[in-house]
Chains A and B, each alone.
Chain A
């Protein structure tokens, strides 16, 4: 690959796209199944918008939305893909579920989806590849050029704890309550190329950095960086990767709308310049969000104050309200604010469901009912 591979494709401003990694469960005890190939084959014969792809293990499947301009369009498409998938899943007697982790599967029972790339990942990373059976939402934000992409990526780093806390839905791992709201990110952190992008300001500098790393043989392509936020030159987007897959498509669309509104605010108002201090505090703030969700506190690099995460999210929602309104995301963010104020969270729902049923099999079953739209959440 030459430098031309790193050319940043320009995107029309403030567009948004969503990728969701989903769980495939058997309908016997609601453990993870291995039916990805059959599910993909069946969906291949059905009419549905967006795209459906394999993921690292046979228990996972990824859905991609098209490029959209606002919340309603995202939600409507996600619902259509979900419904098509639910229909295919029923014919195969499997269930589809959201959530950042499966509550009780054993990673050693997972099998790698047989493609060359995934086999290479297994060879390179060993057991981490199978432990990587966790489920995230990625949000792509369209930007006009590489320099804007880097500005946005650095500015969004300040809000990573928000994204984590709002989507946290992986309190259980391997049959245990982890005490985290999002335990999924601990799994991601084990990879050597995870973390944050280097503190460079221009696309030119970034290309030099990338070529240097490629020259060392550390990476082959941008795909090999498992950063929390990374530029995606071939799509012309900045990709946020810290979200857990939420329990419902509705929450997934809200999260996309939040990120999109925030991006519009940051790119149009340019409230401040990227700061190294954000990265000095980054891991502390990220941990707070993973561990405590909206109950955590973060240290704001710009004001150097301690702020409660819930309060900071609500403040930010007010800050971006005008941009949300102009994008057509006003109602969605209003709903999100109401839920944040009420203290509703996916991780909370999962724990409450476990408390009520005392069985993780039931948690996984109800998690799937929720995703497939067969049950409404009431907490």
Chain B
């Protein structure tokens, strides 16, 4: 025993709280630099900072640290998906059926375009289908957060968020259905093939429903207090994310359904529409830094040209879907084009989806990554810009229009 044993030993043990704080600081600085120097959305700065720290940059954020930080990513995703779900208003979709139709058509077309484009370039149909299903979804986090950063409000913003909610649900259902195919590919028993997707779907929805009922019950008991409702919602979001992980259910579907049900089953208006965004902001920064860190520039070489095909096919599918039906909704001319642009981002949810499959069959995940992740890399950087452009052009940002 020496006199200096009280000093910590190098290397220091990883501490999640220190990691959280450092990621937050890194994101904060990256976001601010990008905003000041290049006038780009802060989110792009978070992602770039993540890339700089991660495998594509200095390699400070390795897989182990990323795994350590995943809990914060989960919380962020939970908050984003819940908020997104709360934007999906079933009453609206009934009054404006063209909006629902637009969501379904753009999802179907983007799936079909990506699928056929990839198959044309000799990607195995099952891989192509899974990649296409992932491409159906627009990143809820990016659209939500850019809208929040710009304090955007209006028809393009609301419609974009509803379309994102619709295509996220459709993407998830497609993924779950394709899971059977993946199981089959890896020769799992027929019980697995049939029951796993059913368990995921029913279990996640059930979890969302249970959490929603608890939220409504407690909200009624608590009475109308924005502060208490905020705590209630944060607690339930955390519990639902955790429970979904424990039960191997889908975080995405459970939280999205919690949000949708909280909005649409609350007939007595017991739950207040409190803003979780301010608290969420902390986790969102970490979400994008970690997202950036897990992007691999080396994938670009492998995915390269195919990623471009993927992006173009996806954009074409979404745009044709949106442009052909949005006019029937009676929104102002030009809104449809801006909606197409606002639907481009891909990001963390796509990563989470690949992550899910990769956990089950690592080899399958790796094959998918090459195609999807290089597309995500490009769209994670361009997406925030696209959304910012669309919302500014629509004149829906909080800044006074000086034109």
Binding site for B on A (CB under 8 A): 26-29, 33-35, 37-38, 41-42, 45, 88, 90-93, 109, 111-112, 114, 122, 357-359, 361-362, 365
Chain B residue nearest in CB terms to A109? B398
Closest Cβ–Cβ distance, residue A373 to chain B (whole Å): 16
Contact pick for B95, options A41, A91, A365, CB 8 Å: A91
What CA separation (Å) do A33 and B153 show in the bound complex?
A: 7
- B window 62-102: CB within 8 A of A: 86-87, 89, 91-92, 95-96
Which 7 A-B residue pairs are closest in the complex by CB-CB distance? A29-B273, A359-B224, A93-B92, A90-B95, A358-B224, A38-B155, A91-B96
Chain B residue nearest in CB terms to A40? B332
Verify B332–A359 contact, CB threshold 8 A. no
Q: Does B400 contact A (CB under 8 A)?
A: yes
Given the complex, which residues of A lie within 8 Å of B330, measured CB to CB? 41-42, 45, 88, 91-92
Closest Cβ–Cβ distance, residue B276 to chain A (whole Å): 12
Closest Cβ–Cβ distance, residue B274 to chain A (whole Å): 8
Given the complex, which residues of A lie within 8 Å of B396, measured CB to CB? 34
What CA separation (Å) do A111 and B396 show in the bound complex?
A: 10
Closest Cβ–Cβ distance, residue B197 to chain A (whole Å): 33
Closest Cβ–Cβ distance, residue B82 to chain A (whole Å): 14
Given A28-B87, A91-B95: A362 and B224 interface contact (C-beta under 8 Å): yes
Q: Does B393 contact A (CB under 8 A)?
A: no
Chain B residue nearest in CB terms to A362? B269
Q: Does B154 contact A (CB under 8 A)?
A: yes
Given A27-B89, A38-B331: A358 and B155 interface contact (C-beta under 8 Å): no
Contact pick for A111, options B155, B224, B401, CB 8 Å: B401
What CA separation (Å) do A88 and B332 show in the bound complex?
A: 13
Q: Does B272 contact A (CB under 8 A)?
A: yes
What CA separation (Å) do A113 and B276 show in the bound complex?
A: 29
Verify A35–B154 contact, CB threshold 8 A. yes
Closest Cβ–Cβ distance, residue A218 to chain B (whole Å): 27
Verify B154–A91 contact, CB threshold 8 A. no
Given the complex, which residues of A lie within 8 Å of B400, measured CB to CB? 111-112, 122
Verify A361–B272 contact, CB threshold 8 A. yes
Query: A33-B153, A357-B224 are known contacts; what are 4 more A-B pairs with Cβ within 8 Å?
Result: A28-B86, A88-B330, A122-B400, A361-B272
Chain B residue nearest in CB terms to A92? B155
What CA separation (Å) do A293 and B185 show in the bound complex?
A: 77
Given A28-B273, A45-B330, A365-B269: A35 and B155 interface contact (C-beta under 8 Å): yes
Write 13 A-B pairs (CB below 8 A) sorted by A numbering. A27-B89, A27-B91, A28-B87, A29-B272, A35-B154, A42-B331, A88-B330, A91-B96, A92-B331, A93-B92, A112-B400, A358-B223, A359-B224
Closest Cβ–Cβ distance, residue B63 to chain A (whole Å): 39
What CA separation (Å) do A88 and B224 show in the bound complex?
A: 31
What CA separation (Å) do A90 and B91 show in the bound complex?
A: 9
Given the complex, which residues of A lie within 8 Å of B395, measured CB to CB? 37, 114
Closest Cβ–Cβ distance, residue A191 to chain B (whole Å): 20
Binding site for A on B (CB under 8 A): 86-87, 89, 91-92, 95-96, 151, 153-155, 158, 223-224, 269, 272-273, 329-332, 395-396, 398, 400-401, 403
Closest Cβ–Cβ distance, residue A111 to chain B (whole Å): 6
What CA separation (Å) do A182 and B91 show in the bound complex?
A: 34
Given the complex, which residues of A lie within 8 Å of B151, measured CB to CB? 109
Given the complex, which residues of B lie within 8 Å of A112, measured CB to CB? 400
Verify B272–A93 contact, CB threshold 8 A. no
What CA separation (Å) do A114 and B151 show in the bound complex?
A: 18
Verify A37–B95 contact, CB threshold 8 A. no
Verify B89–A93 contact, CB threshold 8 A. yes
Verify A37–B332 contact, CB threshold 8 A. yes
Chain A residue nearest in CB terms to B87? A28
Closest Cβ–Cβ distance, residue A83 to chain B (whole Å): 14
Closest Cβ–Cβ distance, residue A120 to chain B (whole Å): 14
Given the complex, which residues of B lie within 8 Å of A33, measured CB to CB? 153-154
What CA separation (Å) do A34 and B401 show in the bound complex?
A: 13
Chain B residue nearest in CB terms to A42? B330
Chain B residue nearest in CB terms to A122? B400
Given the complex, which residues of B lie within 8 Å of A29, measured CB to CB? 272-273
Verify A93–B96 contact, CB threshold 8 A. yes
What CA separation (Å) do A140 and B273 show in the bound complex?
A: 40
Given A27-B89, A27-B92: A34 and B153 interface contact (C-beta under 8 Å): yes
Given the complex, which residues of A lie within 8 Å of B223, measured CB to CB? 358
Closest Cβ–Cβ distance, residue B285 to chain A (whole Å): 24
Verify A38–B273 contact, CB threshold 8 A. no
Given A41-B332, A91-B330, A361-B273: A26 and B89 interface contact (C-beta under 8 Å): no
Verify B398–A111 contact, CB threshold 8 A. yes
Verify B154–A34 contact, CB threshold 8 A. yes
What CA separation (Å) do A351 and B269 show in the bound complex?
A: 19
Verify B96–A38 contact, CB threshold 8 A. no
| Max chain A C-beta neighbours (<10 A), residue from B95, B155, B224, B401 | B155
Verify B154–A38 contact, CB threshold 8 A. yes
Closest Cβ–Cβ distance, residue A234 to chain B (whole Å): 30
What CA separation (Å) do A122 and B401 show in the bound complex?
A: 12
Chain B residue nearest in CB terms to A28? B273
Closest Cβ–Cβ distance, residue B163 to chain A (whole Å): 13
Contact pick for B153, options A26, A41, A45, CB 8 Å: A26
Given A93-B92, A365-B269: A114 and B332 interface contact (C-beta under 8 Å): no
Chain A residue nearest in CB terms to B86? A28
Given the complex, which residues of A lie within 8 Å of B329, measured CB to CB? 91
Given the complex, which residues of A lie within 8 Å of B89, measured CB to CB? 27-28, 93
What CA separation (Å) do A288 and B222 show in the bound complex?
A: 39
What CA separation (Å) do A375 and B79 show in the bound complex?
A: 34
